[in-house]
Chain A
Amino acid sequence: MNAVHPVAPEDLMAYLDGEVSGAAERDIHAHLAGCDACQQLAADLRDGSGQLREWQIEEVPSSLVAPEMQHRQMVQRERWTSLRWRPWRIVAARPFVAGAAAVAAAVVIASAVALQLGSKQTISMGSSIAMSDPIADSLAPAERLALQGQNGAQGQQGQFERVGSNRTDPERETPGPHIVRTATLRIVAGEFNRIRPEVDRILKGAGGFVGEITGADRPGTPRSIRGTLRIPSAHFDAALVELRRLGRVTEDSQTTEDVTATVVDLDVRLANARVTEKRLSEVLRNRTGGVADVLEVEREIARVRTEIEQFEAQRKQLDRRLQYATLRLEIVEELAASVNLGPVPIPTRLRHAIADGVQSAMRGLLESTLFMLRVAPAMLLWVTLFGLPAWWIVRRYVLQRPGGV
């Protein structure tokens, strides 16, 4: 074609695609009007494009939505990029803004450090608390813990929002943080008889319940109550304050576990599973496939439903742990103090020794008499039965024999 046509087929194709302009476009246009072969080729090319258009694609799924949070990240990254490349301009032009940014950065770093420490925080008071006012001393760590929890909430909020809304259709909002609280309290109490009713009263007032509790009253050991109490997190601190008043606190510790990531993960999985179930249900309703396809969709729906129920069960269990804090409580009865009179004098010790010796001798005599009384009847019986016949035999045959002794 090149030999007889001034227009190559590829040029004609480019012309039809709008890829040729200027004089070349005019030349091809003019040539095409009078060339049957090129008109045929153009028709074939148009026909091919037309047939390709017959492959239509279904509508865009409604779940394909704009990625909102990534958008925010992009904006933040954009701002950071501008700061990173031109920090000196900001410092020079707006020193106040630069100072505020420095303070904000310091606060953010401090919050991050506090958050890191607060994620698995244990506050132990030890036995030294008994030397001072237990209520006043024990309130301080509790307040510190609560404050750290609030700081953690503020510091982590953005992160949690970002993670939680990273998916397309979360059905459940997940504000954070979610903290599971556990505390241990050991108390030595004087008036032990009133302890159990007091514990019940405090527990009832806080709306809590007994997980397990055991009372011990053995001779020679102080009475005690040991158990696990579940107290609503909202009333946990108040209940702890009241319980500390029951006696002398010997151990008071609190542990927090940040389960926000788990909660977020569960919520997102649950939301996604529900979306999947909904989609599958729609597919089943429309059912354009064969029986095998329908069965496959039904199996998939059953699998997703099982997943949803598992996620819901895990979420409920987590909710219970979040709603009710755990308190391991041990209350021991306080024993009466022993009297210490100092070292015993030597005469007293001698008197005690003589008295102990006489007492020991009398005890020995008594024990010997008791022994003889226990053994004598049996010995008498055996001597009578065997000793006397033996003696008679000895005298009869041994002592009277000639040449005998």
Chain B
Amino acid sequence: MTDDQLILQARSGSREAFEVLFERYRGPIWQFFRRRTVDVGRAEELAQDTFVVLLESASKYEARGVFRAYLFGIAYNVLSADRRKATRRRTDPLDFDPSSPKGDPDAGLWVRHALARLDEDDREILMLREYDELSYQEIADLRRLPVNTVRSKLFRARMALKAALVPADDSVRMKR
């Protein structure tokens, strides 16, 4: 059963349909927030908030086969709102902290270091493409950018990542 069919059934009151949808996307949404927030608990809260917003806004959803992009759009908006709040509070640490001991200390440390060196916009587009597997058009819609701009930024991010990965890759692996 497709995502569109499931969300339409959930709108009509099918709890089973929503649970199937939730099980299908809880992992990707969790990873989306976990890669962008330092605190595990905060990532979980934001993931929970995303599904709550999904439910609240499900009536506005138009079934055009782009549910995944729609859901990640919600997640992106939830993340943006949380970052704005954190900026106003000025109490939270930077969301993207590759050296944070709270994350997994072994998994792709050099990758996180390399990502941290990228321009923020470029990094976000790269992560949306590589980790969240959104298409260029979906990224363009989400970021409100022309598709060609997304493509240019993505290429620039990949080249910058390559440059950042080479020395870090060698140094880190030598240490290990």
Q: A residues within 8 Å of B by Cβ?
A: 9-10, 13-14, 17, 19, 44-45, 47-49, 51-58, 60-61, 63-64, 66-68, 70-71, 73-75, 77-78, 81, 168, 288-289, 293
Task: Tell whether, in the assembled complex, residue A55 and residue B11 are in contact, meaning their CB atoms are under 8 Å apart.
Answer: no
Chain B residues with Cβ below 8 Å from A51 are: 108, 111, 165, 169
> How far, in Å, is B85 (CB) from chain A's closest CB?
20
Task: Tell whether, in the assembled complex, residue B56 and residue A74 are in contact, meaning their CB atoms are under 8 Å apart.
Answer: yes
- State the majority secondary structure of interface residues on B: helix
Using a CB-CB cutoff of 8 Å, which residues 129-158 of chain B contact chain A? 129-131, 135-136, 151-152, 154-155, 158
Of chain A, the residue at the smallest CB distance from B30 is: A60
Task: Tell whether, in the assembled complex, residue B165 and residue A78 are in contact, meaning their CB atoms are under 8 Å apart.
Answer: no
Interface size class of B (residues with CB under 8 A): 35 or more
Contact of B22 among A57, A66, A73 (CB under 8 A): A66
Contact of A293 among B30, B35, B58, B101 (CB under 8 A): B101
Using a CB-CB cutoff of 8 Å, which residues 50-97 of chain B contact chain A? 51-52, 55-56, 58-59
Of chain B, the residue at the smallest CB distance from A74 is: B55
Of chain A, the residue at the smallest CB distance from B20 is: A66
Q: How many A-B residue pairs have CB under 8 A?
A: 106
Chain A residues with Cβ below 8 Å from B15 are: 68, 71
Task: Tell whether, in the assembled complex, residue B40 and residue A61 are in contact, meaning their CB atoms are under 8 Å apart.
Answer: yes
Task: Tell whether, in the assembled complex, residue B56 and residue A54 are in contact, meaning their CB atoms are under 8 Å apart.
Answer: no
Chain B residues with Cβ below 8 Å from A70 are: 51-52, 55-56
The answer for the CA separation of A48 and B166 in the assembled complex, in Å, is: 10
Q: Say yes or no: A57-B44 contact (C-beta < 8 A), given A48-B158, A52-B111, A64-B26.
A: no
Task: Tell whether, in the assembled complex, residue A66 and residue B104 are in contact, meaning their CB atoms are under 8 Å apart.
Answer: no
Chain B residues with Cβ below 8 Å from A54 are: 107-108, 111
> How far, in Å, is A42 (CB) from chain B's closest CB?
11
Q: Say yes or no: A67-B51 contact (C-beta < 8 A), given A48-B158, A78-B11.
A: yes
Task: Tell whether, in the assembled complex, residue B111 and residue A71 are in contact, meaning their CB atoms are under 8 Å apart.
Answer: no
Q: Say yes or no: A64-B30 contact (C-beta < 8 A), given A45-B158, A289-B101.
A: yes
> How far, in Å, is A163 (CB) from chain B's closest CB?
15
Q: List 14 A-B contacts (CB under 8 A).
A: A17-B129, A49-B130, A52-B108, A52-B111, A54-B107, A64-B30, A66-B18, A66-B19, A67-B48, A67-B51, A71-B55, A73-B55, A74-B11, A81-B59
The answer for the CA separation of A14 and B137 in the assembled complex, in Å, is: 12
Chain A residues with Cβ below 8 Å from B35 are: 55, 57
Chain A residues with Cβ below 8 Å from B59 are: 74, 77-78, 81
Chain B residues with Cβ below 8 Å from A17 are: 129, 136
Q: Say yes or no: A64-B162 contact (C-beta < 8 A), given A13-B155, A70-B55, A71-B55.
A: no
